[in-house]
Amino acid sequence: MQSYLMFKKQVVFLCLALTLMAPLQFAQAIKSSDEQTATRPTATQETPETQRILEQQRAAKQAALAAIEAPLPGARTEDAATQAAEQKQSGGVAKNIIVILLSVLIIIGVVLIFRIPGTILPEAFPLMRNTQLRGTPSRASPAINSPPVIPKTESNALRIGNPRFLELAVENHLLVPQDGADLAERFHGNDFAALLQLVTERPHLKDTLGKLWSDAIGCTYVNPEMTAIQPEAVRQIPREFAETNQIVPLYSFGGSLTIAAVNPQDKALETLITNKFNIIPSFVFAFPEEIADTIAIAYQSAENLEGIATELNAEGKKIAADARKNLAAQDLNQLANSNSIIDFVNGLILLAMNEMASDIHVEPDELSVRIRFRIDGILQEKFILDKSVLLSLVSRLKLMAGCNIAERRLPQDGRIKFALARRKIDVRFSTVPTLYGEKAVLRLLGSTFLRGIPNITDMDFSVTILDSIKSVVKAPNGVFFITGPTGSGKTTTLYSILKYINTPGINIMTVEDPVEYRLSGINQVQVNTSIDLDFVNVLRSFLRQDPNVILIGEIRDVESARIASQAALTGHLVFATMHTNNALQAVNRMIDIGVEPFLVAPSLIALMAQRLVRRICPNCIEKYPAPQSVLDDNFEWDGVVEVYFSRGKGCPRCHGTGYLGRLALHELFILNSATREKIAQNASILIVEEIALKSGFKPLRYDGLKKVLRGLTTIEEVDRVTYHDVE
């Protein structure tokens, strides 16, 4: 690559030299022409000798005309000499003009061949690319042809050389050699700026580019947003130090602290951390925006908000008297924009994200306001505020959600876009008037973006269910329903399946409300009822978009259900969700909302229900002998083999609960001809269930008990979500 650049520079210098020589020759020719012109006689500069010659010429011409004779020889010789001098001078000027034109043409040719950055013709001929590579554009890269578009962060001031990165990008076919050379020349050795440019223009390749960069400098790329961060690790580095040096601690292991850094090769920073905090750091690479977002979330704690809550209580008491009145919208707006309430609300959302809460509940009581987080499906109390804080707190949330802050008598719904450095988190907001004031609930829909889409093999499916799912998704057509209550992980399961089948050869289209995940390579549509962009209208358009796979966020009415069935019968594979208590009830639900049984029976191919249970904390897990009564009620036990269950003792990492995270329990039924016949006859659910059990169908509780034996969850959690399934 270096030799290529050297050759390029030599050719350019040669062309520039030719271009500079041509004007000099042209100027010299013009000067010579001016001198000769100045020495030639003119009508205004006639000497006596010249006048005598002109008189002789006039006399000779008159004699020639009179005698019809040829001009004098002396006159012919002088005219010929004059014409020869003029021709010689004009020929010299033309020669120099030709040299200039040739030089300009040479320069244009070099530009077209080498595509010099910064010229006016960088896009004349697009670069050839490997069009067989998925995600690689076939046209000239915007990162090469357009001005650098680098995120405005403090990292832009960093100049980090890493020439091996561009070489690896070329070797892995992310860039062609031409692109690599142009990037190296454009950023003048600042390869980190080239990396940020590529990530900006090709965000779908961010992880791949991050791995190549870390491989080139001999470390590991870790996305801290996708990593389980230890709170005790975060406490070892102050937040101010982390923000200043663009680092974030992740976890401690083997006596060293793993730290994500923008510049893992910074030896001075390594020495500073060792001397200042008595820590042995082990650096990994992360992008600056990832570190900024992680710092904002990881360093948020309940202790930080307690101080702000104290300020809020003091402010609330000052306005307690006014709160009993009907304050004007201007006054409420002023309350909602106070610094303390802004800091508290922002910190509250960040804390919920840090503790992986799905919902935030703001609940007024007679004398206080209680704030609870739903973590792993269970509500946990976090703060108790003075009742006087309620008005400013709810007003702030309404302002963020675009609701009417003056209306406190009616329920309201809205959406909050909570901005981080790299992305925005979608939060659904809802209020309802209660006896003691407005209750508000925030659902953190966008928090799933930070965790990413899991692989289907990481979903804790049992072996039999996983094999069955893989066979079902290979079907060319049919409807595959996943059922369960709100918040049971249906969308996560569906997207893990879409991720599994997502290939360049199929067209996948989804319609959702809201879109909770982003998956490259598929076409996602967000429902917007305000402009009549609902499920039915979108689904009708989908059928004209040549889809192979359609995902419907939720079957809500007879029209969307009928379109799903018809799409399955016309050669499309349809994934959809529905709210039912078990898998088999989806059949009755389809018929109850108005779809004909003869249409339901042939269109369905599989039904799966799921529930979420809390996972035992791996940091404090312990085994204990299973109670005999539990074994007798749930298992076929010979009374000889000793059986052990698992549980969590409770630790700081799981906040003393013994649980950390959740996993799903599943039941899956693949329809056969016998069940289709009964469905077409509109048979009762009991008859369909009897046939399903005879064909090997296992209910939800069966999968839960297997996961208890595997040490993934507890028998108490299985009883909590499958109580009604106990026979």
Q: Residue 276 belongs to a domain with what CATH number?
A: 3.30.300.160
Q: Is 434 helix (H, G, I), strand (E, B) or coil?
A: strand
Q: Is residue 315 part of a domain?
A: no
- Is there a single domain that holds both residue 211 and residue 185? yes
Asked which of 217, 252, 271 is the last residue of a domain, the reply is 217
Q: Above pLDDT 70, what percent of the chain? A: 75
Which has more pLDDT, 120 or 301? Answer: 301
Q: Which of 210, 196, 203 is nearest to 449 (CA)?
A: 203
Q: Which of 570, 512, 561 is nearest to 543 (CA)?
A: 570
Q: Is residue 307 part of a domain?
A: no
The tally of domains found in the chain comes to 5
Total residue length of the chain: 727
Give the per-residue pLDDT at 453.
83
Q: Does residue 433 surpass a pLDDT of 60?
A: yes
Q: Which domain holds residue 485?
A: 453-615+662-706
The residue-averaged pLDDT of 31-45 equals 47
Q: Which of 399, 383, 380 is nearest to 391 (CA)?
A: 399
Q: What is the DSSP letter of 240?
A: H
HSE (side-chain half, CA atoms, 13 Å) at 503: 7
pLDDT-wise least confident of 99-108, 305-314, 676-685, 687-696? 99-108
Give the per-residue pLDDT at 13.
58
- Is there a single domain that holds both residue 468 and residue 569? yes
Which has more pLDDT, 16 or 668? Answer: 668
pLDDT-wise least confident of 19-23, 267-271, 601-605, 620-624? 19-23
- Is there a single domain that holds both residue 371 and residue 503? no
- Is there a single domain that holds both residue 602 and residue 482? yes
When pLDDT is cut at 50, 70 and 90, the band that residue 131 belongs to is very low
What's the rounded Cα separation, in Å, for the pair 362 and 365?
Answer: 10
Contact 161, 189 (CB under 8 A): yes
Q: Is 23 helix (H, G, I), strand (E, B) or coil?
A: helix
- Is there a single domain that holds both residue 292 and residue 369? no
- Is there a single domain that holds both residue 464 and residue 558? yes
Q: Above pLDDT 90, what percent of the chain? A: 45
Instruction: Determine how β-strand 604-616 pairs with β-strand 478-483.
Output: parallel
> DSSP labels for 96-125?
HHHHHHHHHHHHHHHHHHH--TTSS-TTSS
Q: Does residue 667 surpass a pLDDT of 50?
A: yes
Q: What is the DSSP letter of 221?
A: B
When pLDDT is cut at 50, 70 and 90, the band that residue 78 belongs to is very low
Contact 442, 359 (CB under 8 A): yes
Residue 115: Cβ-neighbour burial (10 angstroms; 0-12, 13-18, 19+): buried
What's the rounded Cα separation, in Å, for the pair 401 and 360?
Answer: 14
Count of other CB atoms within 10 angstroms of residue 679: 25
Contact 481, 586 (CB under 8 A): yes
Question: How confident is the model over 100-128, as pLDDT tens digits?
Answer: 666 666 666 555 544 444 333 333 333 33
- Is there a single domain that holds both residue 252 and residue 196? no
Give the per-residue pLDDT at 72.
42
- Is there a single domain that holds both residue 467 and residue 587? yes
When pLDDT is cut at 50, 70 and 90, the band that residue 506 belongs to is very high
Non-local (6+) Cβ contacts of 125 within 8 A are 112, 115
Q: Does residue 502 surpass a pLDDT of 90?
A: yes
Q: Does residue 616 surpass a pLDDT of 60?
A: yes
Non-local (6+) Cβ contacts of 513 within 8 A are 526, 527, 535, 553, 554
Q: Is residue 643 part of a domain?
A: no
- Is there a single domain that holds both residue 290 and residue 379? no
Q: Which of 200, 209, 152 is nearest to 421 (CA)?
A: 152
Q: Is residue 629 part of a domain?
A: no
Note the helical H segments in 355-414. Answer: 390-401
Q: Is residue 37 part of a domain?
A: yes
The residue-averaged pLDDT of 390-395 equals 91
Asked which of 202, 217, 232 is the last residue of a domain, the reply is 217
Give the per-residue pLDDT at 151.
39
What crossing angle do the helices spanning 177-186 and 191-201 adopt, rounded to 10°?
A: 120
Question: How confident is the model over 513-568, as pLDDT tens digits?
Answer: 888 888 888 999 998 888 888 888 999 999 999 999 999 998 988 999 999 999 99
> DSSP labels for 315-370?
HHHHTHHHHTS---HHHHHHHHT-HHHHHHHHHHHHHHHHTTEEEEEEEE-SSEEE
Contact 446, 426 (CB under 8 A): yes
Non-local (6+) Cβ contacts of 311 within 8 A are 340
Tokens linked to 598: 């003869």
Strand pairing partners for 414? 429
- How confident is the prediction for the chain on average, in pLDDT? 80
When pLDDT is cut at 50, 70 and 90, the band that residue 49 belongs to is low
The residue-averaged pLDDT of 453-481 equals 92
- Is there a single domain that holds both residue 41 and residue 95? yes
In which element (H, E) is residue 623 found? strand 621-625
CA 350 remoteness from chain centre:
19
When pLDDT is cut at 50, 70 and 90, the band that residue 133 belongs to is very low
Non-local (6+) Cβ contacts of 306 within 8 A are 383
When pLDDT is cut at 50, 70 and 90, the band that residue 262 belongs to is very high
Q: Does residue 246 surpass a pLDDT of 90?
A: yes
Q: Does residue 91 surpass a pLDDT of 60?
A: no
Contact 261, 221 (CB under 8 A): no
- Is there a single domain that holds both residue 207 and residue 239? no
Q: Does residue 299 surpass a pLDDT of 80?
A: yes
Q: Is residue 308 part of a domain?
A: no
Q: Phi then psi for 442, rounded to 5 degrees?
A: -115, 125
Q: What is the DSSP letter of 389?
A: G
Q: Is residue 201 part of a domain?
A: yes
Non-local (6+) Cβ contacts of 301 within 8 A are 231, 351, 354
Radius of gyration for the alpha carbons in the chain, expressed in angstroms and rounded: 39
Q: Does residue 723 surpass a pLDDT of 50?
A: yes
When pLDDT is cut at 50, 70 and 90, the band that residue 71 belongs to is very low
CATH number at residue 527: 3.40.50.300
Question: How confident is the model over 134-161, as pLDDT tens digits?
Answer: 333 333 333 333 333 333 444 445 788 8
Non-local (6+) Cβ contacts of 105 within 8 A are none
Which has more pLDDT, 234 or 25? Answer: 234
Q: Which of 192, 134, 129, 140 is nearest to 163 (CA)?
A: 192
CATH number at residue 398: 3.30.450.90
Give the per-residue pLDDT at 259.
95
Contact 335, 322 (CB under 8 A): no
Asked which of 217, 235, 252 is the last residue of a domain, the reply is 217
Q: Is residue 304 part of a domain?
A: no
Question: How confident is the model over 216-227, as pLDDT tens digits?
Answer: 999 999 998 888
Give the per-residue pLDDT at 699.
92
Question: How confident is the model over 335-376, as pLDDT tens digits?
Answer: 778 888 999 999 999 999 988 898 999 999 999 999 999 998
The residue-averaged pLDDT of 195-205 equals 88
Whether the model pTM is above 0.95: no
Note the helical H segments in 636-699. Answer: 673-680, 685-694
When pLDDT is cut at 50, 70 and 90, the band that residue 11 belongs to is low
Contact 493, 459 (CB under 8 A): yes
Give the per-residue pLDDT at 65.
52
Question: How confident is the model over 634-660, as pLDDT tens digits?
Answer: 888 877 888 999 999 998 888 889 998
When pLDDT is cut at 50, 70 and 90, the band that residue 509 belongs to is very high
The residue-averaged pLDDT of 376-395 equals 90
Q: Which of 503, 519, 524, 458 is nearest to 661 (CA)?
A: 458
What's the rounded Cα separation, in Å, for the pair 154 and 159?
Answer: 11
Instruction: Determine how β-strand 424-434 pairs with β-strand 412-419.
Output: antiparallel
The residue-averaged pLDDT of 299-312 equals 86
What's the rounded Cα separation, in Å, for the pair 464 and 697?
Answer: 11
- Is there a single domain that holds both residue 437 and residue 527? no
Give the per-residue pLDDT at 508.
95
Q: Which of 339, 345, 237 is nearest to 294 (CA)?
A: 237
Q: Long-range contacts made by residues 224-232, C-beta under 8 angstroms, separation at least 24?
A: 224/248, 224/250, 224/260, 224/286, 224/290, 224/291, 224/294, 224/298, 225/290, 225/293, 225/294, 225/450, 226/450, 226/451, 226/452, 227/251, 229/294, 229/298, 230/653, 231/301, 231/652, 231/653, 232/652
